[in-house]
Amino acid sequence: MSYDPEIANRVLAGLRPFPVAVTTVDGGVANGLVSLSAGSASIIPEAPRATISLTKYNKTHDMVLNSGVFVMHMLSAEADQLDKSLEILMTLGGSSGRDGDKISMLRTGTGETGAPILLDAHSYVEARVIGTLDVEESSIFVGDVVASEILNDGQRLRIGEAWGKLPAEWIAQYDANHHPQLENARARRFGEKA
Ligand SMILES: Cc1cc2nc3c(=O)[nH]c(=O)nc-3n(C[C@H](O)[C@H](O)[C@H](O)COP(=O)(O)O)c2cc1C
């Protein structure tokens, strides 16, 4: 037995293949991001729960922590919806709400909690947070589902397919944005000298 992070990462890779678009609203301001951390968090079928893990570096993290509400959207892989899915992914996952309003660039409605619903998504669950686990660089949020809808039925977009279709310039920009996020996470986990 040994500890090898490379092998650990191979074991852990791809466990959550579906990117989700998470939106929230806090003090009247709406925002959101893309996440690969979405999961189901209830064994009781009549009382579903959803979970997401958000990095503290991201604005959406602080907003969900404060407001206690989020909407988790699946994206569509259907040919007539794919461009919209990539637009959502690039808009919410490519820059921070700290640098400007992202939500007004997308077609939205308003959910039960006041958080924005992305009308071009495949589907969504809207949740109220019932528990938060602080894990140094991130928080894991678990929420009771209070509303749900299938907006555009069909196949859901997987991250492998999305990476193959995203423009190279956007991926380069994403990589550049990812760097400070990673450094921030290391500093929170290991201390400022990490
Ligand atoms: C495929 C993909 C997966 C991501 N997964 C996560 C995640 O699980 N948790 C997270 O906090 N950020 C994740 N991100 C990064 C955020 O979407 C990104 O940093 C976003 O710009 C943050 O915006 P905000 O500062 O407005 O919240 C992911 C991005 C992409 C493109």
Identify the CATH number of the domain in which residue 113 sits. Answer: 2.30.110.10
For residue 71, give its domain range.
Answer: 5-190
Q: Which two tokens stand for residue 22?
A: 């998470």
Our count of domains for the chain comes to 1
The pLDDT, as a whole number, for residue 79 is 97
The pLDDT, as a whole number, for residue 16 is 96
Tell me the C-alpha to C-alpha distance, in Å, between residue 35 and each of 11, 32, 38, 137: 19, 10, 7, 15
The pLDDT, as a whole number, for residue 194 is 52
The pLDDT, as a whole number, for residue 83 is 98
Choose which residue among 35, 67, 96, 104 to substitute to test ligand 1 binding: the one with the highest number of ligand atoms within 8 A of its C-beta. Answer: 35
Q: Report the chain's C-alpha Rg in angstroms.
A: 17
- Ligand 1 midpoint to CA 94 (Å): 8
Q: Residue 52 CA: which ligand 1 atom is closest?
A: 8
Average pLDDT across each block of 10 residues of the chain; the chain has 194 residues. List them in order. 95 97 98 97 98 98 98 98 98 96 98 98 98 98 98 97 97 94 97 68
- Ligand 1 midpoint to CA 96 (Å): 9
Question: For ligand 1, which residues put their CB under 6 angstroms from it?
Answer: 19, 31, 33-37, 53-55, 58-60, 93, 95-98, 159, 174, 181
Residues with Cβ within 8 Å of residue 67, at least 6 apart in sequence: 24, 25, 26, 27, 113, 115
The pLDDT, as a whole number, for residue 1 is 82
- Ligand 1 midpoint to CA 122 (Å): 19
Q: Residue 34 CA: which ligand 1 atom is closest?
A: 17
The pLDDT, as a whole number, for residue 63 is 98
d(CA 94, CA 174): 6
